[in-house]
Amino acid sequence: MYLSKEEERILNGELGEIKAKAIKILTTLGDIFNAEKLIPIESTQISGVSYKTIGDAGLEFIEDWSSAKVVVESRMNPAGMDLNDWQDLGISREFAEKQLRIIKALTSMGVKKSCSCTPYHAGLVPTRRSHIAWSESSAVAFANSVLGAMTNREGGPSALSAALIGSTPNYGYHLAENRIAQMVFEVNFNLTNFDFTLLGYYIGTIAKNKIPLIKGIKQANWEQLKSLGAGGAASGGIAMYMIPNITPECESIEKPERIVVSKKDLREIQAKLSTGNEPDIITFGCPHCSYEEIQEIFMNVKTKNKIWIYTSNEVKERIKNIPSNIKILSDSCMVVSPIKELGIKCIATDSTKCAHYSQNLSQIKCVLKSREELLHGN
Ligand code: F3S
């Protein structure tokens, strides 16, 4: 892999041991994937922030690196708890202390204390065709597909390394020739809001990590596209999808495999992911809600059941007049927080990604329904 004089100096340790380790991670990745060089990036979004998911080994790794400084705008993925309200929620002090050490180490490196999987709802919107190094899978799908930015699905350490060096190896989704759909899915019916998460999940189970081109969707807003990408990233490894007249890029290989999606396919996904009956709590915000979504929830809520809404800190600060049965939580989410230890055995969600990981990662049951049904108490 070609390295500039400056990059050689970093690799040789002239800018410190941590930066040398960081560029070593990037060049090793570049060598594995045949990247020719490193390319400058605009921003990073770093996963592996929750103590629940990275444990003591991850905490130690981040603290070891904490003397180095990031050189591009960098944000964190959700942590294991709301950084202000953790005591109210019943998070143990032992967990909280370790979580706060992770946040302290990252902020001392210059990573912004904005822990969200939807940084694009919180002021970080990459420009089209810009190179970025993001790691939360739903944010990667959104950035590539909807914003037209270019990122691979980074791991936490590679995103952090990219943040410290300001560049990433040029391979995968950074190359125009790899941003071409390999499969076509046809949807011949009108999609409800809820169908977008089901459709994404369904497509991910078939397309795996290929780029799907989805025909038949006439219009879609950011929230619907966010749900679609999150579902596909959870069930498969979708990092980019294309929709004619909606996504900025839309090109497929000649004669791609063609799959017709039926309403029944989507209902089967819902049935497969619905494993519970009696939710202890209703949760929204996987991926994190936008300000507009929260206002809409407030306007339509009829149920008196307990609702937790997850969002970014930036959005939470703008929220006023919160109904009494609703709690707004930031910095965290129902999947990466120790929700089972809080005594919760079953949650209701409108997100296939949340249902998928709650069962696989947290071993709790799920009721998967549309937001409208959950808000009406059905
Ligand atoms: Fe975000 Fe957590 Fe879902 S990180 S996409 S709310 S699993």
**Type and span of the H or E element at 221:** none
Angle between helices 352-360 and 222-235 (to 10 degrees): 30
Angstrom distances, CA of residue 13 to CA of 1, 39, 79, 287: 18, 20, 31, 39
Model pLDDT for residues 116-137, shown as the tens digit of each residue: 999 999 999 999 999 999 999 9
Q: Which of 57, 112, 121, 104 is nearest to 288 (CA)?
A: 121
CA angle in degrees (0–180, nearest 5) for 26-31-35: 85
pTM of the model: 0.98
Give, for ligand 1, the residue of 227, 235, 311, 335 to mutate: max count of ligand atoms closer than 8 Å to Cβ.
335
C-beta of residue 105 within 8 angstroms of C-beta of residue 98:
no
Q: What pLDDT was estimated at residue 108?
A: 98
Taking 50 as the pLDDT cut, the residues of the chain under it are none
Q: How far apart are the CA of 298 and the centre of ligand 1, in A?
A: 21
Fold of domain 274-375: Rossmann fold (3.40.50)
The count of other CB atoms within 10 Å of the CB of residue 358 is 28
Distance CA 270, CA 331 (A): 28
- Residue bearing the CA closest to ligand 1, atom 2: 333
User: 54, 67, 74: which is closest to 19 by C-alpha?
Assistant: 67
Ligand 1 center from residue 105 Cα (angstroms): 22
Nearby residues of 364 by Cβ (< 8 Å), 6 or more positions away: 276, 339, 340, 344, 345, 346, 347, 358
pLDDT at 192: 98
Select from 1.20.950, 1.10.286, 3.30.499, 3.40.50 the CATH code of 5-176: 3.30.499
Say what the pLDDT of residue 378 is. Answer: 81
Classify 85 as helix, strand or coil: coil
Q: What is the pLDDT of residue 329?
A: 98
Q: Which of 135, 354, 356, 358 most suits a substitution to test ligand 1, by most atoms within 8 Å of the C-beta?
A: 354
Q: Which pLDDT tens digit goes with each residue over 227-257? A: 999 999 999 999 999 999 999 999 999 999 9
Residue nearest to atom 3 of ligand 1 (CA): 286
Task: Quote the ligand 1 centre to 287 CA distance (angstroms).
Answer: 5
Residue type at 10 in one-letter notation: I
Ligand 1: which of 47, 121, 311, 353 to mutate, most ligand atoms within 8 Å of CB?
Answer: 353
Q: How far is the CA of 286 from the centre of ligand 1 (A)?
A: 5
- 235: helix, strand or coil: helix
Q: What is the 3-state secondary structure (H, E, C) of 140-184?
A: HHHHHHHHCCECCCCCHHHHHHHHHHCEEECCHHHCHHHCCEEEE
Tens digit of pLDDT for each residue in 92-112?
999 999 999 999 999 999 999
> In testing the pocket of ligand 1, which one of 288, 337, 347, 350 has its CB within 8 Å of the most ligand atoms?
288
User: Which tokens go with 213?
Assistant: 């081109």
Ligand 1 pocket, CB under 6 A: 77-78, 117, 136, 138, 230, 286-288, 310, 333, 335-336, 353-354, 357
Report the candidate in 223, 260, 241, 233 with the shortest Cα–Cα distance to residue 350.
Answer: 223
Determine which residue's CA is closest to atom 5 belonging to ligand 1.
Answer: 287
Which H or E element spans position 32? helix 17-32
Domain segments of the chain as ranges: 5-176, 180-263, 274-375
